[in-house]
Structure 1
Amino acid sequence: MRSSTVLVLTCTYAAYAQTNLPPLANDTVFAVGTNITINAPIDTVWNVLLDWDNYAEWNPFVRQQTLADEFFMPVPAENRTLVALKAAGSSLENQRLILNVQIPPLPLPVNASTPSNILHSQSSFENITAMQPTQHRMAWKQVMFPDFILSAERWSALSSVGLFGLQTLYESREEYGGALAGTLQDLFGEGLQESFDAQGVALKARVEGS
């Protein structure tokens, strides 16, 4: 029988006492996550994280992340720009997202022309559960299954660190619960962890221009 103990599949995640992530939910079966320090101010990193239409230029995990309406129809492109998303702020909560991901991730580096590995491609339909620009954190949750079958909520959060706040701690975590969580962990746990770590490394390179 699977233990009810939460397993966080990263050796670096617990290295920071500082965190801007909320506590794990009580019914979490397992979680994956990563963190990395980026040599840039917090708003610079936040802008890159929120620029969803350009994820394909650098992200080896989430190759496409599209804002959609309640029927999962993509919103017009002019309403998905970084300026529009920042202006919308917390009003983005309860809007939908369509994610096209690679689990495990594509080899780094990637750009918009990098072909997907069709054997590792997946799509997910999500609801934005938190958009908190003043706290520099956001979250979305899968809506393809009811929670008792599978719940999966991903948080991304930033914190100012270092001298004069010139560095940023990026944290990302997804927690899973429900009847299928254990099976998901067995099938994709390692690949998910690789994907989270790869996105952190790629985000740092994107922001720092390396």
Structure 2
Amino acid sequence: MFLFSAILLLTSTLVYAQTNLPPLPDGTQWSAGTSITIDAPIDAVWDVLLDWEKYAEWNPFVRGQTLANEFFIPASVEDRTLDALKAAGSSLEGQRLILTVQIPPLPLPVDENTPSNLLHSQISFENITAMQPTQHRMAWRQMMFPDVILSAERWSALSRTGFLGLETLYESREGYGGALAGTLQALYGVGLQEAFDAQGVALKSRVEGS
């Protein structure tokens, strides 16, 4: 009886995460993404995910992510700090991002001094479509092509999981549609999937301090 009660108590303290990602929009032809469980509280993971200025210190996929205005002029250094981004919250929606990415990703581990592979380096201009701190979700959408040519929106989301909800499920996914979606998949599909997976592994290592 005691053993049964102990098992029941243990089971009741486990939190099983369900996806925190929204459904893929109509017209999506394919997607790349990843998920990984991180042994850290959700707010600790959120802080690392939101601290865009430090991505170069750990991220093998997104080597730079800079907040900018509607003319893609970078925001001031003060407005790009983690504290400033947390204070801005949902008001970041509609602002722009300048992303420097590696597809496929750089080999792990990386830091701010790791040189880029110029053959695999790209710059992308994005619009922040969602910043939802209470739901631990954020998203941005490419702006270089009309959606009929290429649509691409990337979501990153966190959920509580594990014992007492003290672990975090990280999920990230980008869906692609439009006339060039098939071409993009043929050229970059494998590399993009590798990049999402590598970022998940690197995020886990960064947060857990391993």
Query: Radius of gyration: which is bigger?
Result: 2
C-alpha separation in 2, matches of 1:191 and 1:17:
28
Match of residue 88 from structure 2: 88
Task: For residue 63 of structure 1, report the CA deviation from its aligned partner.
Answer: 0.2
Match of 1:107 in 2: 107
- The 8 Å contact of residues 17 and 161 in structure 2, kept in 1 or not, is answered as no
What is residue 182 of structure 2 aligned with on the other side?
182
Distance 1:164 1:83 in 2: 27
Matched residue, 2:164: 164
The percentage of counterpart residues that share the same residue type is 78
**C-alpha RMSD of matched pairs (Å):** 0.9
| Local SS of the residue matching 1:162 | strand
Who is 1:78 aligned against? 78
Normalising by structure 1, we get a TM-score of 0.92
Offset at 1:196?
0.1
Aligned pair count reads 195
Is the 2:104–2:191 Cα contact (8 Å) retained in structure 1? yes
1:130 is aligned to 130
Rounded Cα–Cα distance in structure 1 between residues aligned with 2:96 and 2:24? 23
Residue ranges of structure 1 left out of the alignment (5+ in a row):
1-15
Which aligned segments of 4 or more residues in structure 1 are displaced greater than 3 angstroms?
none
Deviation at 1:17, TM superposition (A): 7.3
| Distance in 2 (alpha carbons) for counterparts of 1:197 and 1:134 | 25
TM-score (norm 2): 0.92
Structure 2 residue 205 is matched with structure 1 residue 205? yes
* Partner of residue 196, structure 1: 196
Say which SS state the counterpart of residue 157 (structure 1) adopts.
strand
Query: Quick one: structure 1 residues 17 and 39, their matched pair in 2 at CA, closer, same or farther if it must change by over 3 Å?
Result: closer
